[in-house]
Chain A
């Protein structure tokens, strides 16, 4: 399930459950559709997400690249320390903002 709240080119998306090989393609399609429809500041809130794998990480990378090409930006919100570490060890937090949202 994905909740989307959008206003003035900004959108916050809250996926739930897993962001893994089984559903990463669907999530990527939905996020890129948002970007195509004019969203330039995209926030992905991971507080309802249970697990992310390498295919899931590729969704964030594609979104970041697509938004960057359009002058926009991606940010990720997660209170989950494991996810924060995951983005950090893969050095993705050097490319887009990853925060606890506080």
Chain B
């Protein structure tokens, strides 16, 4: 299952928790963002979406394709807000340690999201992540 609904500046996506759906969502949004000519780092947005969805599919849903992952993307006047929610029980995000860039260390996905976003937050239980990527300030917003 993969439902992509777009209305004005908001995308709402419901998808079965599969890796294949991550690729389809990423390809769809990358095409959309390229066409809309927003002053945003598209690569950064793709990394953020992919890593948030990957965590939701693998950790939040245990790779169970019967489970649903929800994604909402909002193109605001000053940046893009992304919210990814899974049906899992969350994780203790408040215990997250600083990533140390050790090659043996896990947590590379969370490190990427922290580096490439301007803001990263979780809901209380940790099954929803909210990411923000601001538009480049030196370029006018064309739309």
Interface residues of A (CB under 8 A from B): 18, 20-22, 51, 53-55, 57-58, 61, 64-65, 82, 86, 89-91, 95
Number of interface residues of B (CB under 8 A): 19
1/0 per residue B19-40: CB within 8 Å of A? Answer: 1101100100000000000000
Instruction: Return the chain A residue nearest B109 by Cβ.
Output: A54
Q: A18-B23, A22-B22, A65-B103 are in contact. Are A54 and B108 (CB under 8 A)?
A: yes
* A-B contacts, 20 listed (Cβ < 8 Å): A20-B19, A20-B50, A21-B19, A21-B58, A22-B19, A51-B26, A51-B46, A51-B50, A53-B47, A53-B51, A53-B54, A53-B112, A54-B54, A54-B108, A54-B112, A61-B103, A89-B115, A90-B115, A91-B101, A95-B103
Chain A residues lying within 8 Å of B58, measured Cβ to Cβ, are 21
Please tell me if B4 contacts chain A, counting CB pairs below 8 Å. no
CB-defined contacts of B26 to chain A, threshold 8 Å: 51
Kindly list 12 other residue pairs between chains A and B, CB separation below 8 angstroms, not including A22-B23, A54-B54.
A20-B19, A20-B23, A21-B19, A21-B54, A22-B20, A51-B50, A53-B51, A54-B51, A54-B112, A89-B115, A90-B101, A95-B103
**Chain B residues within 8 Å of A, Cβ to Cβ:** 19-20, 22-23, 26, 43, 46-47, 50-51, 54, 58, 101, 103, 108-109, 111-112, 115
Contact between chains at A82 and B43 (CB < 8 Å):
yes
Q: Which residues of B contact A64 (CB under 8 A)?
A: 103
Bound-complex Cα distance A13 to B54 (A) = 26
Nearest opposing residue in chain B for A64, CB measure: B103
| Closest-CB distance, B62 to chain A (whole angstroms) | 14
Residues of B contacting A57 with CB < 8 Å? Answer: 108
In Å, the complex CA distance between A82 and B112 comes to 13
Cα distance A16–B136 in the bound complex, in angstroms: 30
- Give the residue name and chain of the B residue nearest to A57 (CB): B108
B101 touches A55 (CB 8 A): no
Whose C-beta in chain A lies nearest to the C-beta of B21? A22
Contact yes or no, B108 A21, CB < 8 A: no
8 A-B pairs with least C-beta separation: A82-B43, A54-B109, A22-B19, A54-B108, A91-B101, A53-B50, A21-B19, A89-B115
Q: Separation in Å of the B137 CB from the closest CB of chain A?
A: 19
